[in-house]
Amino acid sequence: RDESTFTFVLFGGTGDLAMRKILPALYQAHRDKLIDASGRILAVARAAPDLPGYLEWVEENVKPKVPKAEFNDDDWRGFLERIAYVQLDATQQADFVKLKDTLETYGGTRVFYLATGPSLFVPICEALAEQQLNTHARIVLEKPLGYDLESSKAINDAVGAIFQEEQIYRIDHYLGKEPVQNLLALRFGNALFEPLWRREWVESIQITIAEQLGVEARGDFYDQVGALRDMVQNHLLQLLAIVAMEPPHALDSSDSVRDEKLRVLRALKPLSASDISKVAVRGQYASGVVRGESVPAYATEKGVKEGSETETFVALKVEIENWRWAGVPFFLRTGKRLAERTAEIVVNFRPVPHSALGPGALRAGANRMVIRLQPHESIRLYCLAKQPGEGMQVQSVYLDLDFDQFFKGNRMEAYERLLLDVIHGRLALFVRRDEQEAAWRWVEPIIDEWATSGKKPKAYASGTWGPAAASAMLAQHGTYWFEEE
Ligand code: BG6
């Protein structure tokens, strides 16, 4: 088998994810000449009857998703030539014979990308095994992988009986984002910050992923999931792990970073049922105004059950029980229909121990680092400086690093990076089973408490920063959610 080339088998080939993320990312990789010229994309779906029908769908749905600046006709034609198609019903084992026959005519490593609902993960893996397609292969699983610890274990057990852990690529697309990768460079490439990156000098850390979008067309799916499972169990806890982990000895193996992240996830202070009302806030968006437009309440979105208690906002106080972080609160927050779209990490340093400059220099937040991941990547280091003029008045100023200014040119999208990693067999940016289960284990008491407490999520107006309780939780610690002007 020629390992230098590949066949990328895309299950859910006409689905939303294929259309919005996967095929555009494969086009970019093709255009950037980052994949082997003989590599094939074999789309698999029920909806399109044949290859011409599928290509028509790609023209109509995928082409508009490629940013104009990155599109050109020649590359697009070349990209379409890579595509083959098999019509297949993933619930029908017999249909997989067709897939096997087609695959036998192609060489290279097989990548099976399951861009389908999680209920199809196990049936597809079993059908692949039945056709002995699980060797020389990699399998990519999209989130959500399960609904809680037990269901994620069941999927992992079933998939794990067919594929080895080294063949399994669990996607968390946040790990493919350039600024998230850059966190490693910031933390482990600069001796400047490392001595301060600990409880002695850090007062608290905030991690926010805020969206302005609502549930869009995914009401049906989202209503069964909610923000805790959709964003906290994966993206937010992964960011937290990278921010808090110990320095890995190298970045050259699949496991050096994953081992360190796992240690953090296992050190998260477990929550008891009685803690949860104090350290977890959940909200649901009501109607409101976002970017000048009136938007409806979550409860009236298409696909949402009447009287739904699904949360669209979560704020949490998390603690890490180890020497580096004991006693330092990590405040996490995410929500839909919030005031802004942003993803950022705010490290609040402790004030100086004694101020010769008056009480101004002792105020909280005089020194903070704001690492913005979205919508534009930047790092601002806030410090105090003397106001010009007579006397000694200090004022907050910042050192500003704007990555778009510094690194001109196209940035690689998360999906492009991750798909290239799968094709080239690099596992480091994918979530290992033990990490995933540690995250579920920590989140589960919150799921249970919310399901049984009889309390509803707090309503918040769309276009705001969520329920007031999220701010009150920080106020108890003498702090507030930082907002950049
Ligand atoms: C996905 C969630 O994983 O992440 C979505 O399922 C969310 O609900 C999305 O909108 C946010 O990703 P990004 O890259 O736009 O911040």
Task: State pLDDT tens for residues 295-304.
Answer: 999 999 999 9
Higher pLDDT, 275 or 361: 275
CB 235 within 8 A of CB 315: no
Distance between Cα 335 and ligand 1 center (Å): 10
Closest-lying ligand 1 atom to the alpha carbon of residue 234: 3
Rounded CA gap, 219 and 214, in Å?
9
Active site residues: 235
Q: State the pLDDT confidence band at 238, using cuts at 50, 70 and 90.
A: very high
Torsion sign (Cα): 236, 259, 370, 477: positive
Q: What 3 state SS string does 161-223 have?
A: CCCCHHHEEECCHHHHCHHHHHHHHHHHCCCCCHHHCCCCCEEEEEEEEECCCCCHHHHHHHC
pLDDT digits (tens, 9 = 90+) for 404-427: 899 987 788 999 999 999 999 999
Do 359 and 351 touch, CB atoms closer than 8 A? no
Cis ω for the linkage preceding 144 (within 30 of 0):
yes
Highest mean pLDDT range out of 241-255, 334-348, 349-363?
A: 334-348
Residue 3 has pLDDT above 70, yes or no: no
Least reliable range by pLDDT among 83-87, 104-108, 224-228? 104-108
Residue range 258-282: average pLDDT?
Answer: 96
At 485, the pLDDT band (50, 70, 90 cuts) reads: confident
Q: Which residue has the higher pLDDT, 361 or 67?
A: 67
Q: Is 449 annotated as a binding residue?
A: no
Higher pLDDT, 322 or 146: 322
Q: Mean pLDDT, to the nearest integer, of 20-46?
A: 95
Residue 362 has pLDDT above 80, yes or no: no
How many angstroms separate the alpha carbon of residue 356 from the centre of ligand 1?
46
**Local confidence band at 1 (pLDDT 50, 70, 90 cut-offs):** low
Ligand 1 atom index nearest CA of 213 = 10
Is residue 364's pLDDT more than 90?
no
What are the two backbone dihedrals, phi and then psi, of residue 397, each rounded to the nearest 5 degrees? -135, 175
* Number of Cβ within a 10 Å radius of residue 403: 15
379: CA distance to ligand 1 center in Å? 22
Mean pLDDT in the chain?
A: 94
Annotated ligand binding at 336? The verdict is yes
Q: Say how many C-beta atoms besides its own lie within 10 A of residue 87's C-beta.
A: 18
Is 63 annotated as contributing to ligand binding?
no
φ/ψ of 400, rounded to 5, equals -125, 125
State the Cα–Cα distance between residues 128 and 95, nearest whole angstrom: 11
Q: Is the pLDDT of residue 118 over 90?
A: no
Which of 173, 207, 224, 345 gets mutated to test ligand 1 (max ligand atoms within 8 A of its CB)? 173
pLDDT at site 363: 73
For residue 360, pLDDT over 80 is answered with no
Q: What is the pLDDT of residues 190-218, one digit of tens each?
A: 999 999 999 999 999 999 999 999 999 88
Alpha-carbon dihedral sign for residues 333, 427, 134, 89: positive
What is the arithmetic mean of pLDDT over 265-282?
A: 96
Report phi then psi at 402, rounded to 5: -105, 110
* Neighbouring C-beta atoms of residue 414, cutoff 10 Å: 22
Rounded to 5 degrees, φ, ψ at 164 are -70, 155
- The whole-number average pLDDT for the span 217-240 is 96
211 Cβ inside 6 Å of ligand 1: yes
Residue of 16, 235, 311 best suited for mutating to test ligand 1, as the one with most atoms within 8 Å of CB:
235
Q: Is the separation of the CB atoms in 419 and 29 below 8 Å?
A: yes
Residue closest by Cα to atom 5 of ligand 1: 230
Question: Is 126 annotated to bind ligand?
Answer: no
Q: What is the mean pLDDT of residues 254-282?
A: 96
Residue to probe by mutation, ligand 1, list 230, 285, 301, 311, most atoms within 8 Å of CB: 230
Q: How does residue 2 score in pLDDT terms, banded at 50, 70 and 90?
A: low
386 known ligand binder: no
